[in-house]
Amino acid sequence: MAIADFLEPAVKDYAEQAKATYSAPIDTSQFTGRGFVAGEDPLQTQAINLAQQGVGSYQPFLAAAQTAQQQGAGALGQAATAVGGLGAIQNQAANIAQGQAGMTGPQAYQPFMSPYQSQVIDATLAEYDKQGAAGSQAIKDQAVASGNFGGGREGAMLGQYESDRLADRAALQGSMLQQGFNQANQLAQQNFQNQGQLFGNQQNLFAMQNQQNLSNQGLAGAFGNQMNQQFGLSDFGRTGMGQDVSALGSLGAMRQGLSQAQLSADAQAAQTGAYEPYGRLSQYGNTLTGLAGGVAGSQYQDPRQSNPFQTALGTATGLAGLYGKIFR
């Protein structure tokens, strides 16, 4: 059955519109391409920069902590050395005190007596005896010269001389012994005083070393606290920076998602607008095919839910049906 005459102009118009529509290329750049991909959000950029700046930022704190640890170890080493020195000083002081205990009593001077004293005394007395013998011989010679040799006068003179000589000899010997004793006793007293002063010095040195030991221990504790503080600052800095980077990254991703949603909506709107002529053409063709009486037409589908090529193909199929009816 031929198509009604009144439809022929409309069908021809439809055909011309279809030809013009399908001849015009669709500018897909209106809804595709990188322009419809959300770029990096400024907060994401800030998070990246902050993360880059934070790389290795904790190193100074770790270096300071290591330095404090080394200094603390050195202070502890000095404290240990001081403790060892304290033991040695105590032993020396004990030896001095023990030595002092042996420097008292009536025989304390004996170690300081000259080992040559007896030799000196013996030599002196021998010389004295030699001179005494010469004196006795002079008295005898005088008695011989005066004709009194062997007489009572000579004997009395020799007896008095020998008595005086022996007394002087004993006094000389006692004086030398007393002199030796006095010197030895003076040396013993001086040594006792020196040992006492040395003991006092050792006690003072012990106190100083003990104070140094306590100071080093306190210093080691201070360095330990400083080390822990630096480690804490390092951990705090890394944790805080990580939280900042995470927060900025999350906010940036959220804003980037919103931007992407807007761009996607714009791209969908542009795509819908680009395929809008095909929709109108399809509706036009459906109307004509209905009037033509039973020719299957095309059903326009939103390009967001269908392939645009399939939509165009359906429209072309409807057009072919109309032409078939007209020129049958």
Alpha helices in the chain (DSSP H): 8-23, 42-54, 59-101, 117-146, 152-292, 308-326
What is the percent of the chain where pLDDT is above 90?
2
Q: For residues 80-101, give the mean pLDDT.
A: 68
The pair of three-digit structure tokens given for residue 195, joined into one six-digit string = 């040992």
| Range among 70-79, 127-136, 219-228, 299-308 rated most confident | 127-136
pLDDT band at 311 (very low <50, low <70, confident <90, very high): low
Q: Given this model, what pLDDT does residue 297 score? A: 44
- Give pairs for 78-83: CB < 8 Å, separation 24+: 78/212, 78/216, 79/213, 79/216, 79/217, 79/220, 82/209, 82/210, 82/212, 82/213, 82/216, 83/213
Q: pLDDT confidence of 49, banded at 50, 70, 90? A: confident
8 A C-beta contact, residue 68 and residue 263: no
Res 296 pLDDT > 50: no
Q: According to the model, what pLDDT value does residue 316 have?
A: 53
Residue pLDDT, tens place only, 104-115 = 566 666 777 788
User: What's the average model confidence in pLDDT over 255-259?
Assistant: 88
Q: Under a CB-based contact definition with an 8 Å cutoff, are residues 299 and 314 in contact?
A: yes
Confidence of residue 33 (pLDDT cuts 50, 70, 90): confident
pLDDT at 281 over 60: yes
pLDDT given at position 317: 58
Highest mean pLDDT out of 213-222, 238-247, 249-258:
249-258
Nearest one of 97, 77, 80 to 202, comparing CA atoms: 97
DSSP 111: G
pLDDT at 324 over 70: no
- Asked if the model's pLDDT at residue 299 lies above 70, the reply is no
pLDDT computed for residue 171 by the predictor: 92
Q: Which of 287, 273, 274, 272 shows the shortest CA–CA distance to 13?
A: 287
What pLDDT, on a 0 to 100 scale, did the predictor assign at position 303?
A: 45
Residue type, 242: G
Mean pLDDT, residues 233-259: 83
Confidence of residue 309 (pLDDT cuts 50, 70, 90): very low
Proportion of the chain above pLDDT 70, given as a percent: 78
- Amino acid 223: pLDDT: 78
Residue 175: its pLDDT value, please? 92
